[in-house]
A and B are shown apart, each in its own frame.
Chain A
């Protein structure tokens, strides 16, 4: 079920919130928690019922391993269980996400013909696997004996964060699950949460999905586009993925808030960053946090000298690229960001001499180029697009109408040029002016003016639901 679907907004969400708080009247907290976990699993299985088997198996096995580990007296046993949990989780994600890619690569390198299985990747597997790996690391280091199956299931399956994050850690969520004060409905949280949810819905449905027209048409016919249209396409994709994913994260945070849960912030206006280092402190923050915990710190972090730190940083970005998907384009995207991050680490004084405004422009352009690689179906396509972007002999002014083909009739080229530039300009203005999710949360007050604004955003969003596309990060 998509957050941006009729089923979710008009059925699942109101029913779940109503029943959840109705159950708060029961003294025992468990009916409420069981209901929320069951509703979350229903939400997940709505995409494909067989997914529930995979996530259930993952939850049960991780829980058993953790439970045994918590009661193990010997450190060696704890370590063995931790290694087993890594093997299980990495094996699970490896099979579903990377098997076909590995076989395809092997076939190419070794000229073999091993059949590809065409495995359907379960939604959110990268997210819930990373979440549980992080939990296993915590268990390995922890002395606590407490672990409850219902709480653990709810921690993994909690529907606002299940499919595309924010990646929530055990200590982020479980203390809130067991907090008695959070069981009863809170009108302020419901209003605040719903308002944040609507802001995210608007970003996804109005901005990201509208930009997808330019992006899809541009990437489809990139060979014949010319320079200016391809620059517009490259900018459009950067804004599309940002508003799509940041919109999703805002919806998740808003939904959590409605149920009295505070989920971690995932975006802090990252496109305004003045360096790649800053960008990664503001973009998909919870992935950075998890990678730091699971990869960077175990590799030694910054404790083993400058060279080792640079290597560790690079490895983190490489893993980040691979985590996003089984394709060489994601690997190259990770390498590009890793190289930029290492460069900034090595030459901080040099970079600090450049005015912030200039650094912001260069950082933004770097992010745009990297996202072209990220979106491309192959590395060849990515470089084909770069070539178009720098073909000064073909400005492509006559090709703008093909960017806006939408099935009704051809938009006159002069109008297409105006619309395409206007769309990008509007996105730039929003990017520069928008408030981050944390600012939205802090500044919110239930004034009549806000009620009108949220109602308008909701109505416009509802009008766009019939063509809502899947969130980009659902693919990862």
Chain B
């Protein structure tokens, strides 16, 4: 029995050591710089959850764009052409405020960027969760790899259960010339171009009828907050975010905050007072930006093309038409904060939100 136990230990240890050794070697050969990007037939994956961290550390950039799926409204080529920056997109669908702060802090620690573009989804500030920098869905060990942690990726879940199998699968598919479904190919195409990082898969039916149907049936979540604490949470969380953004910003760095072009129904939520909270947040950001010479604000919500419900796939994601127009607005925005302008925009939003709500109620 004793002999058997010793054999068991020796066998277990030798298999474990040999296997981990082989796995580490393979991962190192495939990805020596821990960039977590599969490269198959020239396709590079920009999976935000995994590739943002190595991109922050290894990519060549002087501008970062941080935000949710709304980052689809930022075209890096146009930004380079207009402002001369080399942007890096750090986008993840439904980015939480604490994830946003986390990414901002990580980019700040690298010190490469001179320009920060932050897209703020206002409704996400109303939840009861306390806002503080948190890696959330990202992998914290990838962001600040020190000591042995920088080699952790060699035996990492992301490496062995995501990127290497994906790479092997696609290599086989392409090698055997197997046709892929169109939806998969289009999804793959979006995932392999950094400029389309954060793009919304166009799988929702577009147009006013579909949008009103979604609104009335409640299939699209219009806000995340508890109505009792909505206002208090939103205000205090926004104060914290703005303070954190400004504290880390050096005088030679610039920050531009963008308010994304949601549909009017997004504001016209069923609890009508919540739109007032959104307006107060917008005014708060404008007042804050006015205090700093290097902080700018661009409001995309009141643009004329944003008012057309037919251009939306859901309450926040737009069709190609509106996206192209928004991308143009992004680069033409002067970014001068003006509280009066924001207040005026609020009135415009309010009137078309009321109109949209009326349409929704009539349909019901």
Chain A interface residues toward B at CB < 8 A = 6, 118, 187-188, 191, 221, 223-224, 401, 405-410, 412-413, 445-448, 450-452, 454-456, 458-459, 462-467
Report how far A271 CA is from B187 CA in the complex, Å. Answer: 39
Within 8 A of A (CB), among B1-55: 1-2, 4-9, 11-12, 15-16, 19-20, 23, 45, 47-50
Report how far A410 CA is from B49 CA in the complex, Å. Answer: 13
Report how far A160 CA is from B142 CA in the complex, Å. Answer: 29
Contact B2 A187 (CB under 8 A): yes
> Which residues of chain B have C-beta atoms less than 8 A from A409's C-beta?
45, 47, 187-188, 190-191
Report how far A111 CA is from B97 CA in the complex, Å. Answer: 30
Report how far A411 CA is from B268 CA in the complex, Å. Answer: 32
Report how far A451 CA is from B49 CA in the complex, Å. Answer: 36
> Which residues of chain B have C-beta atoms less than 8 A from A447's C-beta?
4, 8
Contact A466 B219 (CB under 8 A): no
Contact A188 B152 (CB under 8 A): no
CB distance from A126 to the nearest CB of B (A): 22
> Which residues of chain A have C-beta atoms less than 8 A from B1's C-beta?
188, 446
Contact A408 B155 (CB under 8 A): no
CB distance from A103 to the nearest CB of B (A): 14
Query: Out of B47, B156, B188, which one reaches A463, CB within 8 Å?
Result: B156
CB distance from B183 to the nearest CB of A (A): 6
Contact B153 A466 (CB under 8 A): yes
Given A466-B141, A467-B157, verify A455-B23 contact (CB < 8 Å): no
> Which residues of chain B have C-beta atoms less than 8 A from A405's C-beta?
93
Within 8 A of A (CB), among B89-148: 92-93, 130, 137, 139, 141
CB distance from B79 to the nearest CB of A (A): 24
CB distance from B166 to the nearest CB of A (A): 7
- Size of B's binding interface in residues, CB under 8 A: 49
Contact A467 B139 (CB under 8 A): yes
> Which residues of chain A have C-beta atoms less than 8 A from B292's C-beta?
none
Query: Out of A188, A224, A451, A464, which one reaches B157, CB within 8 Å?
Result: A464
Report how far A412 CA is from B158 CA in the complex, Å. Answer: 20
Query: Out of B2, B47, B161, B181, which one reaches A412, CB within 8 Å?
Result: B181
Chain B interface residues toward A at CB < 8 A = 1-2, 4-9, 11-12, 15-16, 19-20, 23, 45, 47-50, 92-93, 130, 137, 139, 141, 152-153, 155-158, 160-162, 166, 181, 183-184, 187-188, 190-191, 201, 203, 218-221
> Which residues of chain A have C-beta atoms less than 8 A from B16's C-beta?
455, 458-459
CB distance from A331 to the nearest CB of B (A): 18
Contact B8 A446 (CB under 8 A): yes
Report how far A155 CA is from B165 CA in the complex, Å. Answer: 46
Report how far A341 CA is from B68 CA in the complex, Å. Answer: 47
CB distance from B190 to the nearest CB of A (A): 7
Report how far A454 CA is from B183 CA in the complex, Å. Answer: 40
Contact B139 A223 (CB under 8 A): no
> Which residues of chain B have C-beta atoms less than 8 A from A451's C-beta?
7-9, 11-12, 15
Report how far A455 CA is from B139 CA in the complex, Å. Answer: 26
> Which are the 5 A-B pairs with shortest beta-carbon distances?
A407-B49, A446-B8, A455-B15, A409-B191, A451-B11
Report how far A267 CA is from B161 CA in the complex, Å. Answer: 30
Contact A446 B7 (CB under 8 A): yes
- Can you list 6 A-B contacts (CB < 8 A)? A187-B2, A408-B191, A409-B47, A463-B156, A463-B160, A467-B139
